[in-house]
Amino acid sequence: MNSQNLSFTVHDGDLKSGSSVCADSVYTQGLAYFNSLSAPAIFTPGDNDWVDCDRTAGFNSLAQLDKERALFFSTPYTLGGHPFLMEVQTDKVCLNANHEPVGCVENRRWTAGRVTYATLNVQGSCNNLCDVNPDPEEWAARNAANIEWLHETFAEAQANGSAAVMLISQADPAFDDTTGLADDTRNPKTLAQDDGKLDGFQDYLLALRAEVIAFKKPVAYVHGDSHYFRVDKPLQDANGVRVDNFTRVETFGDNAVSGHPERDDDNAQWLKVYVDPNSREVFAYQPQIIPANHVANPAP
């Protein structure tokens, strides 16, 4: 990445696997990686970084998020080389490990080249509403904060005359009834989960859909979580009509073929996005396949 002239970089969460120990070294190593990038570097947390830490005895998910907030988000600037100033959600509407109100300082926003960008702390593992040791109070506070950040982002994009919006978060919330990737499937018209269980995403997705439709210009939603690279248009309106100005972009992720670990490095790649605010679609996507990580299909 440092060999290319990048305006900035964004990592959409997960510094480790969900089952590995949430050691401090994971975070400090991640910070070192980000700061080794010559371009400004932005990071949004993933469920493996904090939500899933409840799976390991002796660790608390919110305590780990507190660590990330202190380490990665202590200033309003990006990480990496040549940092720039970002907007930060400093209102004390999220919760810390003591369930005290704190700023959602991991939620960031910036404008570059007539495009508005924002990160949102939206997590896999049911967004901390279910899974291991769920925390409905924490979820409710952060979910409301994310929805407010979403509204503010589109309002700012409209006010600035932005040509497009790009949102980056970790979770694959499932936008439709496609099976085999996200943890659940959902009715694309109502955006409710098909299984009727606790749903950490529906309210957020309804707010997102309303904003996208009202914006009427390109919106890219970038996430990880399912570890499967794809660019598609899964969002439908309440009548089942495709929302054409919305594009989902899922980035590469390790462990996508866990049944064949000898080939899994093939999924440790990155994605370059070309941005032209004067073009009709604004964004164009080019996968960057690292030769050292590429594993050819084995012979029959």
Q: Where are the domains of the chain?
A: 80-293
Three-state DSSP class for 104?
A: strand
CA–CA distance, 114 with 164 (Å, rounded to integer): 7
What tokens appear for 167 in the block? 């949102």
Q: Within its chain, how far is the Cα of 130 from the centroid? A: 19
Each residue's pLDDT, cut to its tens digit, for the chain (300 residues) gives: 999 999 999 999 999 988 889 999 999 999 999 999 999 999 999 999 999 999 999 999 999 999 999 999 999 999 999 999 999 999 999 999 999 999 999 999 999 999 999 999 999 999 999 989 999 999 999 999 999 999 999 999 999 999 999 999 999 999 999 988 888 999 999 999 999 899 999 999 999 999 999 999 999 999 999 988 999 999 999 999 999 999 999 999 886 555 666 666 667 899 999 999 999 999 999 999 988 887 776 654
Sheet of strand 40-43, all strands in order from the earlier edge strand to the far edge: 9-11, 40-43, 79-80
Q: Using the Cα atoms of residue 156, residue 159, residue 161 and residue 163 in order, give the sign of their dihedral.
A: positive
Helix crossing, 61-72 with 24-35: angle to 10°?
30
Residues 6+ apart with CB under 8 A from 279: none
Q: Is the pTM of this model over 0.85?
A: yes
Which CATH code is given to the segment(s) 80-293? 3.30.750.180
CA–CA distance, 284 with 148 (Å, rounded to integer): 28
DSSP 20: S
CA–CA distance, 190 with 83 (Å, rounded to integer): 41
User: What Å distances lie between residue 263 and 212, 226, 259, 294, CA to CA?
Assistant: 38, 17, 9, 8
